[in-house]
Structure 1
Amino acid sequence: MTVDLGRRLVAEALGTAILVATVVGSGIMADRLTDDVAVSLLGNTIPTGAILFVLLSILGPISGAHFNPVVTIVFAVRREFEASAVAPYILAQIVGGVFGTLVAHAMFDLPIFQLSATVRTGSAQWIAESVATFGLLLTILGGLRFKIDAIPALVGFYITAAYWFTASTSFANPAVAIARSVTDTFSGIRPTDLPGFIVAQVFGALIAAALAGWLFAERRNEIPPITVQGAE
Structure 2
Amino acid sequence: MRMSPPALPRRVAAEFIGTGALVAVIVGSGIRADSLSQDIGVRLLANATASALGLGLLIALIGPLSGAHFNPVVTLTEWWSRRPGHGGGREALAYIGAQLAGAVAGALLAEAMFGRAPGAWATESRAAPHLLLGEAVATAGLVLVVQGLRHTGRPALAPIAVAGYIGAAIWFTSSGSFANPAATVGRAFSDSFTGIAPASVPAFTAAQLLGMVLGMVLAGVLYGTGRGAGEPNPAEARRTG
Work out whether the TM-score is over 0.5. yes
Output the amino acid matched with 1:194: V
Write out aligned runs for 1:82-93 (5 A): 82-93=88-99
Residue segments in structure 1 that go unaligned for 5+ positions in a row: 220-232
How far has the Cα of 1:210 moved from its partner? 2.2
In 1, Cα distance between equivalents of 2:155 and 2:97: 26
Alignment-derived partner of residue 151 in structure 1: 158
Whether the aligned pair in 2 keeps the contact of 1:132 and 1:162 (CA below 8 Å) is yes
In 1, Cα distance between equivalents of 2:62 and 2:18: 7
In 2, Cα distance between equivalents of 1:9 and 1:148: 20
How far has the Cα of 1:44 moved from its partner? 0.4
Write out aligned runs for 1:18-33 (5 A): 18-33=21-36
In 2, Cα distance between equivalents of 1:43 and 1:213: 35
Alignment-derived partner of residue 201 in structure 1: 208
In 1, Cα distance between equivalents of 2:80 and 2:98: 19
Write out aligned runs for 1:170-209 (5 A): 170-209=177-216
CA deviation profile, 1:32-74 (whole Å, cap 9, x unmatched): 0111011001110001000111111110111011100011111
How far has the Cα of 1:15 moved from its partner? 0.5
How far has the Cα of 1:209 moved from its partner? 1.2
Larger radius of gyration between Structure 1 and Structure 2? 1
Alignment-derived partner of residue 111 in structure 1: 117
Whether the aligned pair in 2 keeps the contact of 1:30 and 1:40 (CA below 8 Å) is yes
Residue segments in structure 2 that go unaligned for 5+ positions in a row: 229-241
Alignment-derived partner of residue 136 in structure 2: 130
Residue 62 of structure 1, aligned match among 60, 65, 85? 65
How far has the Cα of 1:109 moved from its partner? 0.3
Whether the aligned pair in 2 keeps the contact of 1:144 and 1:151 (CA below 8 Å) is no
In 2, Cα distance between equivalents of 1:61 and 1:79: 18
Alignment-derived partner of residue 52 in structure 1: 55
Alignment-derived partner of residue 16 in structure 1: 19
In 2, Cα distance between equivalents of 1:106 and 1:73: 31
How many residues end up aligned between the 2 structures?
219
> Deviating runs (4+, > 2 A) in structure 1?
none
In 2, Cα distance between equivalents of 1:141 and 1:73: 12
Paired residue secondary structure (1:87): helix
How far has the Cα of 1:87 moved from its partner? 1.3
In 2, Cα distance between equivalents of 1:173 and 1:163: 13
Paired residue secondary structure (1:109): coil
TM-score under structure 2 length normalisation: 0.88
Whether the aligned pair in 2 keeps the contact of 1:55 and 1:65 (CA below 8 Å) is yes
How far has the Cα of 1:79 moved from its partner? 2.6
Paired residue secondary structure (1:85): helix
In 2, Cα distance between equivalents of 1:86 and 1:136: 18
How far has the Cα of 1:211 moved from its partner? 2.2
CA RMSD of aligned residues (A): 1.4
